[in-house]
Amino acid sequence: MKPSRLKIGPKVPTKPPITPARSKQALMTSRDRDPVQVYCRIRPLDVPTDDSCVTVLSDTVVQVVPPETSQGYRSGTTKATQYTFTGVFDEKSTQKPIFHTVTLPLIEDLLHGKNSLLFAYGVTGSGKTHTMNGELQDGGIIPRCLDVIFNSIGHFQAKKYIFKPDKMNSFEIQSEIDALTERQSEALTSNKFKTPARRGQENEGPRVTDATRISALDEDQAFAVFVTFVEVYNNTVFDLLDDTPIDPLRPGKIQSKILREDQHHNMYVHAVTEVEVKSADEAAEVLAKGQKRRRVAHTTLNAESSRSHSVFNIRVVQAPLDGQGATLEKMLTVGQLSLVDLAGSERNSRTKTTGERLREAGSINNTLMTLRSCMEILRENQLNGTNKMVPYRDSKITHLFKSYFDGEGKVRMIVCVNPRADDYDETLSVMRFAEMAQEVQIARAVQPNIRLEATPRATPAGREALLPGRRKANRVLTEAYRKLEQGGISNPQSEVPFDIDMVFSAARCSWPPLELQSASDDRLITALVEYLQVRIRDQQNRREQQMKKCVEVRTLIREMEEELILKRQEVLSLHEQLKDERSRCQTFENRVLNAESANATLQRHVAEHQKYARLLEEELKEKDCLLNQGEIEILNVKAKEKTKRQLEREKLKKELDRYKQVESQLQRQTERFLVMRDLLDAGCSVKVPGTSGSSESDSRTPSIGATHRVSDPKVVGTPSLRGPAVSTRKRRSRSVDPGKGWLDHRPENILDLDTVFQPQMNRAKSITKLVDSKSVTDAKISKYVLTTQEQDSAGEIETKLYKGDVLTTVSGGAQVVLQDVEILRHSSPNAIKRHSDGRLKDVHSRVADIENRCGHAIEGHNRNKKHCP
């Protein structure tokens, strides 16, 4: 690129060089090298009324004008600059002319086994991804490349898995059996790529394909297409076709890839997923899968900004057919086309990015700076003949591109430009880089990348010895064999004497070059004469062979006619035999029909008898069931009666035993009651266990009630151990302290029970409500009693007397300290005894209660007897 005013940007400082430049670059002449072709594409303005800083002057020249808002325009240091490109596409250019101008020659080289590199360069938001990918209705460079490749090699493709990657950037040829096994495994697992939903293209309809086709191909070659898709994110290589899920928030968890150099000194991504595709649609599905996993983010300048560099590699592998056009020779030719979408450079002052986006932008800018530094050093080495070290290893992208810049092939670049006035500074930097890249030259690829294997014919000489047209000849021969098989010959290849060499020799159609360089050059005429003489000799030989074949064919025809006459006679005799056999068969058929009709009649009778037998069996089963049911009912009735009688006898026995036990217990109880009566008549008071020793009760008459005292307030409400009154004397309660005044606090609703045992309180003062403190602080009062009544669980009235001392306090007041509780229960001797929950007590419970109270009474009598004088 030759600008009208040469203006090289400032040199970018680089790191210490690592990889040396190849010395053969300096030894090449200008005719052996081609410069890097740079094309410029202008993006349309988002708002047509915005100011533009880029103007298209011609098909190859653009002018960059500084806007009035720029600092250089105000100071006068920056002026309008013109830049020349290999081609310029303005805002109205579509994808198709760009593809046919830039990429179509690279595809032709790819199909002939040569390497090429095409990458899009520009600032963020300039249209690089759109140029490479495009839309469904208007595909970009990558989809159109796939369409053209498969349009050209569609009928010449080898079967899938014939070519297999060897994981070292090369391929090997498998046998048909191994390839068939892998195809069957793939069909079983159904592990195929599915078309993912592309951003914003779910409802746009089917993809529009490109119908362009390259015709200048060797038809005797078998082709296969392999694709890989990787991205370089934060200077780390990741495989976009790997099945491992990608989490954009945690890129450290993804398995990264490394770069290696193969035996042919080509750089490649080690252990990358390489997919063999057999159609353009299948390749588009693989591309869509990788694009879905590619990292994009929203920035201030671009809604979907690529945060990584993507590299889509297309490799076309081809091998020649053998002499008969059936199998492949062990001689591979591999061509590679790398389509690169570089991430856009951006300034933090404009995007205002922070955090992860800022780190991504820094990595992108460093990669682009390294690419520019490598291009500058390459240009300097080529122009000045120096041998400076090119820092390819400073970046993964430049390290991967090393094979193109130091090897053979073509390198082309599309510079995408956003003509907005706000992007003037970034656009000027891009133009300077494109100007410098135009001066870098790449070695021209003269021969295809042929990779030979250890076989006798795997040599260039062997390849030249193969005649053209082998595929067509094999197709003709296969069609002839198929027709012979349809004519009745089971194995035509062995039964029919056919000269295969004649078929393949007839396909020879290559002539020597007929272009005459000068009038004195006799080599062309000599070569043409020699070629014609060879053709004449070959034609004479073929004529002789044809005559021999004709004689052999005539002999075969005579033999076949004689054999045909014999066969006809055999056929006539066989026809007579066939008639006799048919008449016999007709007789047998009639007999069979009669037998079948008789058999059908018998089967109907048998079916009717079977139906009648089934009805009889069902009636018999019903009667058996009725008999069994009657027997079972009789047995159940007998068992129930027997069980009922046994239960009644057992119940009577239990009642009798219980009655005897109760009588014995009542007899023992009566004896104990007599003992208690004698003791009470003797005049000794019985102390009931659990009552207070300082309390007494007056006994006037035999009472059905009983009184006991509980010294501990916690046990108030425990059932008292009552017994029948055995004395008619009036007894006084010892709980009354004569000589002291009592304060009897008795509510108004207290019922007078008129029981024998009543507490005696001397000089008692009765009150119904305690409303005045003087009632307690009275000097005559030293005791306090509170009477309450309530109904117990058995429905009887229970009276409680809470007794305490009235003590004088230091301040002159008084306090009541409760020390005793007396409980009086009023019950009827004929009342039915119940439990606390209201259930009736049985005989055993009542007897146990009586025995318990009698035992306590006897123990108290014995203790009191010891203390009586």
Q: Nearest to residue 115, comparing CAs of 438, 407, 531?
A: 407
- Please state, in angstroms and rounded to a whole number, the distance separating the CA atoms of residues 746 and 799: 11
Q: Which residues in 580-603 are b (16+ Cβ under 10 Å) and which e?
A: eeeeeeeeeeeeeeeeeeeeeeee
Q: Which residues is 317 bridged to in the sheet? A: 224, 334
* Residue 503 annotated in ligand binding: no
Contacts of 44 (CB under 8 A, 6+ apart): 91, 92
Q: Which residues in 660-692 are b (16+ Cβ under 10 Å) and which e?
A: eeeeebeeeeeebbeebeebbeeeebbbbebbb
Q: Nearest to residue 718, comparing CAs of 830, 798, 624, 644?
A: 798
CB contact at 8 A, 400 and 387: no
* Residue 705 annotated in ligand binding: no
Indicate the pairing of strand 741-745 with strand 764-767.
Answer: parallel
∠ CA 678-679-683 to the nearest 5 degrees? 110
Signed CA dihedral, 454, 459, 465, 470: sign only: positive
Contacts of 497 (CB under 8 A, 6+ apart): 552
* Residue 723 annotated in ligand binding: no
Indicate the pairing of strand 87-89 with strand 37-42.
Answer: parallel
CB contact at 8 A, 46 and 421: no
Element of type H or E holding 825: strand 814-826
| C-alpha pair distances (Å), 550 with each of 306, 497, 539, 543, 788 | 73, 12, 16, 10, 147
* Residue 601 annotated in ligand binding: no
Indicate the pairing of strand 61-64 with strand 54-56.
Answer: antiparallel
- Please state, in angstroms and rounded to a whole number, the distance separating the CA atoms of residues 727 and 706: 13
* Residue 403 annotated in ligand binding: no
For residue 753, what are its two tokens?
């029970």
* Residue 127 annotated in ligand binding: yes
For 18-52, give the secondary structure using H, E and C. Answer: CEECCCHHHHCCHHHEEECEEEEEECCCCCCCCCE
Q: State in Å, rounded, how far the first CA of the chain is from the last one.
A: 147
- Please state, in angstroms and rounded to a whole number, the distance separating the CA atoms of residues 301 and 582: 93
**SS3 (DSSP) at 317:** strand
- Please state, in angstroms and rounded to a whole number, the distance separating the CA atoms of residues 792 and 778: 35
The residue ranges of DSSP E strands in 348-417, in sequence order, are 389-390, 410-417
CB contact at 8 A, 41 and 95: no
CB contact at 8 A, 9 and 433: yes
Contacts of 839 (CB under 8 A, 6+ apart): none
- Please state, in angstroms and rounded to a whole number, the distance separating the CA atoms of residues 312 and 141: 11
* Residue 126 annotated in ligand binding: yes
- Please state, in angstroms and rounded to a whole number, the distance separating the CA atoms of residues 434 and 302: 23
Binding-site residues for ATP sit at: 122-129
Residues belonging to the binding site are: 122-129
